[in-house]
Amino acid sequence: MQQLPTRRLTVLETAVLVFVGVITLIGIISSRINLPWFENVYVAEDGFVENLTLVPLLAAAVVSVIYWSRLARHHSHLFSLIMWGICLFSIFVAGEEISWGQRIFGVESSEFFQRHNAQQETNLHNLVVGGTKINRVIFSQLLTAAMALYLLVIPYLYTKKAKWNSFIDWAGIPIPRSYQTIACLALFAAISLIPSGKNAEILEGAIVHIFLLILLFPRNAHVFGR
């Protein structure tokens, strides 16, 4: 199996980790000192933290397309599918975050979204179906389970199981490095210190930066470095 060489963090990796730590720490402190400012300014709709999610998501979309354009002919069809999946998923999440430009362009929500969206916005994650927010089921519970699988189970299989190692490299699945997994777990623990239901905004704004680091600096970098 491919062994992970010892390496120092690049300047970009260090800068992103520090940045994630700072915005999270500001969220924790401000929520405990001035909760209204935290909720109505720091993590407000179209505010600083929410807009932070756009740059790494759009960057991830671009990076995945670059990987595909440079490496698809050397890899499996599954590699191409995964790269385009990452691209489309990143664009989708970015679009959802800004309600597909609704507030930017001053577009009024349709009657359907006014009736079924918890915030009367044109997006899917705030839809309410049968009294249950889709965000709570799909974008919280299922996504959390998927992240646990990706951050903990898959890296373990990659390290300990030769067949899984070969399959993952063949498929082109970027595997998180240990520090990236630790950063994600620390982030989940940190937002529990924020006494607000809007602590998820900090989680979203920070974790997409770590996601970009995984894509740029995966454990199996040899797969993407041709």
pLDDT, tens digit only, all 226 positions of the chain: 445 556 789 999 999 999 999 999 999 999 999 999 999 999 987 788 888 889 999 999 999 999 999 999 989 999 999 999 999 999 998 988 887 777 777 777 788 877 877 777 777 767 777 666 776 666 567 778 888 899 999 999 999 989 999 999 999 999 999 999 999 999 999 999 999 888 888 998 999 999 999 999 999 999 998 5
Distance between CA atoms of 125 and 96, rounded to whole angstroms?
A: 7
For the chain, what are the domain ranges? 11-223
Does residue 128 sit in helix, strand or coil? strand
pLDDT in tens, 44-74: 877 888 888 899 999 999 999 999 999 999 8
Burial classification of residue 116, based on how many CB atoms lie within 10 Å of its CB (0-12 exposed, 13-18 middle, 19 or more buried): middle
**CA-to-CA separations, 125 to 16, 20, 41, 45, 129, in angstroms, rounded:** 27, 24, 21, 14, 11
Tokens for 195, please give them: 């006494």
Cα angle 14, 60, 120; round to 5 = 110
Helix and strand numbers, DSSP H then E, in the chain: 13, 2
pTM for the complete prediction?
0.88
211 CB neighbour count, 10 Å cutoff: 23
